[in-house]
Amino acid sequence: MDILLTDLSKSFGEKTVLSHLSARFPQGECTGVMGPSGRGKTTLFQILLGLTPPDSGKIEGLDGLRCSAVFQEERLLEGLSALENVAFVLPRGFSREIIGEHLLALGLGGSESLPVRELSGGMRRRVSLARAVLSPSDLLLLDEPFQGLDEATRQKAIKYLLDHRAGRTLLLITHNPADCQGLGCQQLLDLGAQ
Amino acid sequence: MMRSTSRGNSLWNKVWPLLFWLAVWQLGSVAVGQEILLASPAAVSKALGRLATAGLFWSSIAGSFGRISLGFLLAMVFGGALAAASHRFPLLETLVRPLMTGIKSTPVASFVILALVWIKARNLSVFIAFLMAFPIAYTNLLEGLSAVDSKLLEMAKVFRVGKLRQLLYLYLSQLWPFLVSAASLSLGLSWKSGVAAEVIGLPRDSIGEQLYQAKIFLATDELFAWTLVVILISMAVEKLLLVLLRWAGRRIGGDV
């Protein structure tokens, strides 16, 4: 089922960040969400995740959907390793080998047992990407998932996402049109044009 | 080499002030010239040796240890539970705040006298030890709960992480330093006030009772010896508890 937003608005005090936004995110497709900073990309993301309620408007098609996400900040448990951070969101007993393979595919081989506080920004980003991809979900929300990655690693991360997307609906917040292109986003939502 | 030298220095830095004050004590005792007013370190050591061979010494220590530890543990449990409830319901926090300020500001003696009216003398030290540790446990754990990262809680909600896992990895791991701090701050206080309550309540098999007996019979050496016992036990229990808590803290947040 497609996700349908109708007339969605959200303000923080005097500042309106989303104003009467309507959009459709087709099931199983990738939608790129673009726009300048402060135009409500992350707010939309928070609303879709159920973390912030909209002031008005309607969202259809989200009920019963399992979401996973790459947040704007990594939101990792600093004392745990990369492997443990991913295992934290997975069912008990989930294969460590599979988690290790995913981390390896993202170029994190050899770092999976280190506490994430010792990892670089780009490595942490990839841990949060593996966590989102491995979590059983129907909708993947990615907020700047390739931030801080060099070109080669970005390509590797894009390939990893394409390999493991498994038909899930994908929502990609980015400033870089090449990210949308790389992931084959069929449509773009430009919040700058609101 | 550097490490061992620095450790040696650190040990020496602990020992020399102790020796200095022992010497001051000895000199003071010689100057006063009456053991009944100021027992010498040698007389106190002798009294301690004498007391330690009696069964009553160990049963008194065990009795006080049991009662004060019980009060302290109850304070940690109830302080933690009330902190959790206050964190969940801010109105309760507002309601409890003046109560905590009141408990912290009221002299221990007032509580002891009041409590003697309400509860049996043998339970007095449990209650007083509880009362001294309770506001510290509550305040520290409430502060710890406020420090739990709300962004991590959101992440756990999005990924539908189970409550038990959230409790272990998001709450307990972040709360642990606050619990260690609460235990460290309140254990010594519980011991001091618990023994003071025993001196007034005079439960059987207690250090407080022995201190009182020593005072009645003007056995200053024994009074000093029992005081030394309280200090040593309080320090030892605090060290042991902190070692245990830190060890447990390292285990929390281990394997997911």
CB atoms A131 and B158 under 8 Å = no
Q: In this predicted structure, what is the pLDDT of residue A144?
A: 94
Residues A145 and A56 in one domain: yes
User: CATH number of the domain that A18 lies in?
Assistant: 3.40.50.300
Residues B115 and B65 in one domain: yes
pTM above 0.90, yes or no: no
Residues A4 and A60 in one domain: yes
Last residue of a domain, one of A111, A136, A161: A136
Q: Is B155 on the interface with A (CB under 8 A)?
A: yes
CA-CA distance, B196 to B190, in Å (whole number)? 10
Contacts of A73 in chain B (CB under 8 A): 151
Dihedral pair phi/psi, residue B255, rounded to 5°: -65, 130
Domain count, chain A: 2
CA-CA distance, B226 to B242, in Å (whole number)? 24
Residues A100 and A145 in one domain: no
Residues B64 and B112 in one domain: yes
CB atoms within 10 A of CB A108: 22
Average pLDDT of chain A to the nearest whole number: 93
Residues B8 and B63 in one domain: no
Residues B132 and B232 in one domain: yes
pLDDT band at B13 (very low <50, low <70, confident <90, very high): confident
Residues B46 and B122 in one domain: yes
CB atoms A88 and B161 under 8 Å = yes
Angstrom distances, CA of residue B131 to CA of A27, A113, B79, B194: 60, 44, 10, 10
Would you say residue B168 lies in a domain? yes
Closest CA to B27 of B12, B42, B14: B42
Contacts of B158 in chain A (CB under 8 A): 49-51, 67-69
Task: For residues A21-42, give the mean pLDDT.
Answer: 92
Would you say residue B256 lies in a domain? no
Q: Is B169 on the interface with A (CB under 8 A)?
A: yes
Tokens of B13: 């830095």
Residues B94 and B69 in one domain: yes
Residues A7 and A60 in one domain: yes
What range defines the domain where residue B109 resides? 38-251
Tokens of B75: 């304070």
Q: What is the per-residue pLDDT across B162-218, written as a single tens digit (0 to 9) for each? A: 999 999 899 988 888 899 999 999 999 999 999 999 998 888 899 999 999 999 888
Average pLDDT of chain B to the nearest whole number: 89
Last residue of a domain, one of A136, A160, A186: A136
Q: Is residue A115 over pLDDT 80?
A: yes
Q: What is the per-residue pLDDT across A120-145, written as a single tens digit (0 to 9) for each? A: 999 999 999 999 999 999 999 999 99
Q: Is B256 on the interface with A (CB under 8 A)?
A: yes
Closest CA to A76 of B86, B256, B71: B256
Q: Is residue A24 over pLDDT 70?
A: yes
- Concatenating the DSSP letter of every residue in chain A gives --EEEEEEEEEETTEEEEEEEEEEE-TT-EEEEE--TTSSHHHHHHHHTTSS--SEEEEES-TT--EEEE-SS----TTSBHHHHHHHTSPTT--HHHHHHHHHHTT-TTTTTSBGGGS-HHHHHHHHHHHHHHS--SEEEEESTTTT--HHHHHHHHHHHHHH-TT-EEEEE-S-HHHHHHTT-SEEEEGGG-
User: CATH number of the domain that B120 lies in?
Assistant: 1.10.3720.10
Q: What is the per-residue pLDDT across A71-109, written as a single tens digit (0 to 9) for each? A: 999 999 988 999 999 999 999 999 999 999 999 999 999
CB-nearest to A79 from B154, B161, B173 is B173
Would you say residue B236 lies in a domain? yes
Using a pLDDT cut of 90, give the percent of chain A over it.
88
Would you say residue B75 lies in a domain? yes
Q: Give me the residue label for tokens 């070109």.
A: A151
Q: In this predicted structure, what is the pLDDT of residue B174?
A: 84
Tokens of B49: 């040796």
| Alpha-carbon B16 to chain mean position | 26
Residues B46 and B156 in one domain: yes
**The complex's ipTM?**
0.94
Q: In this predicted structure, what is the pLDDT of residue A193?
A: 66
Q: Which of A47, A77, A139 to mutate to test binding with chain B, by most B CBs within 10 Å of its CB?
A: A77
Residues B110 and B28 in one domain: no
CB atoms A77 and B157 under 8 Å = no
Domain count, chain B: 2
CB B182 within 8 A of CB B76: yes
Residues A50 and A96 in one domain: no
**Phi/psi class of residue A75: alpha, beta or left (left: φ > 0; alpha: ψ in -120 to 50)?**
left
- Return the number of CB contacts < 8 Å for A and B: 45
Q: Where are the alpha helices (DSSP H) in chain B?
A: 2-32, 41-52, 55-88, 90-105, 108-118, 124-146, 150-158, 163-166, 173-201, 207-216, 220-251
CB A9 within 8 A of CB A58: no
CB A66 within 8 A of CB A138: yes
Residues A131 and A168 in one domain: no
CB B80 within 8 A of CB B141: yes
Q: What is the per-residue pLDDT across B49-94, written as a single tens digit (0 to 9) for each? A: 999 998 889 999 999 999 999 999 999 999 999 999 999 999 999 9
Buried b (16+ CB within 10 A) or exposed e, B210-219: bbbbbeeeeb
Contacts of A129 in chain B (CB under 8 A): none
What range defines the domain where residue A43 resides? 1-66+140-194
Residues B88 and B171 in one domain: yes
